[in-house]
Structure 1
Amino acid sequence: MKNHLWNMFANINNGQLAKRSFILHQKKKICEKFLDVLWNEGFILGYKNYFTNIKTFKSDFTKIFLKYKNGKPVINNIKPITKPGRRVYYTAKQIWKMNSKNTLLVFSTNKGLKTLNECKKLKLGGELYIILS
């Protein structure tokens, strides 16, 4: 399995450090789901898929628009928790003990990618993907 999600994290982090207004990334479904979470939480301005073959609507890449506040990047730190060699899972009981005031915790659950608050509302556990601050 290729690490498209981890590559996207690195691209976003590098784009923010270079103060780019947008970055380009290869289109994958898991990356789109994660971008939806980032957009819903206000960490990016949005994203757009670009089609190279109009007849089949095959999209090769996604343009991710990065967000800044007062000239500083909104995403200061991206820290992937689970890795291909070391998976980290939390049960619903363990999630209730977690606190995230200034960070965004994203979990992979059987209902899709969810934030910590959504997991608490739905009483779900899952694999902790990333911490954003």
Structure 2
Amino acid sequence: MLIMSLHDPISDMLVSINNGQKSNKTLIFVPNSNIKRNILLVLKNEGYIIDFEPNGYFIKIFLKYFNNKSVIEYIKRVSSPGLRVYKPSNQLPKVLSGLGIAIVSTSQGIMTDKDARKRRIGGEIICYIA
């Protein structure tokens, strides 16, 4: 049985992805929620994971590797339940000078920093991934 803290479920998912890749797992399970599915959709579209499948109470996440190295080298939670970080579109950070992405929760949904800048909307910075 999977036991996780429920104070910050997004952070728990990011840590599970990071730990899964460090231990060379191809498949991990995290508890299901709408925001997690939206974040995973961004990760899939940007090529950081192979795929994900919502499966009842859990989400199956298929991790991606290239030349036996994990595709995600850096993952960091920025905004947390105790300290929210909001930025307007002109102040959204460029992760590793544009080589990584920041996932942003906006009024038009969850998207990358590049998409938010293009649409000129700011929002809450969820995490950095490179």
TM-score between both structures, scaled by the size of structure 2: 0.89
- After superposition, what is the alpha-carbon deviation per residue over 1:24-81, rounded to whole angstroms, capped at 9, x for unaligned? 111111100000000000000001122xxxxxxxx11111000000000001121011
Asked if the contact 1:44–1:66 (Cα under 8 Å) also holds between the matched residues in 2, the reply is yes
Asked if the contact 2:76–2:127 (Cα under 8 Å) also holds between the matched residues in 1, the reply is yes
* Alignment: residue pair count: 123
Structure 1 vs Structure 2 CA RMSD: 1.2
Question: Which letter does structure 1 place at the counterpart of 2:121?
Answer: L
Residue of structure 2 equivalent to 1:18: 23
SS at the partner of 1:108?
Answer: strand
Asked if the contact 2:90–2:117 (Cα under 8 Å) also holds between the matched residues in 1, the reply is no
SS at the partner of 1:75?
Answer: coil
Cα distance in 2 for residues equivalent to 1:93 and 1:77: 24
Residue of structure 2 equivalent to 1:113: 110
Pair 1:69-2:71 in alignment: no
- Cα shift at 1:84: 1.4
TM-score between both structures, scaled by the size of structure 1: 0.88
Gaps of 5+ in 1: 51-58
Aligned-residue identity in percent: 34
Residue of structure 1 equivalent to 2:82: 85
Question: Which letter does structure 1 place at the counterpart of 2:70?
Answer: P
Asked if the contact 1:108–1:114 (Cα under 8 Å) also holds between the matched residues in 2, the reply is yes
Residue of structure 1 equivalent to 2:129: 132
- Cα shift at 1:122: 0.7
Cα distance in 1 for residues equivalent to 2:8 and 2:82: 12
Residue of structure 1 equivalent to 2:3: none
Gaps of 5+ in 2: 1-5
Cα distance in 1 for residues equivalent to 2:54 and 2:122: 31
SS at the partner of 1:36?
Answer: helix
Cα distance in 2 for residues equivalent to 1:85 and 1:126: 16
Quick one: which of 32, 35, 38 aligns to 2:37? 32
Larger-gyration structure (1/2): 1
Cα distance in 2 for residues equivalent to 1:99 and 1:129: 14
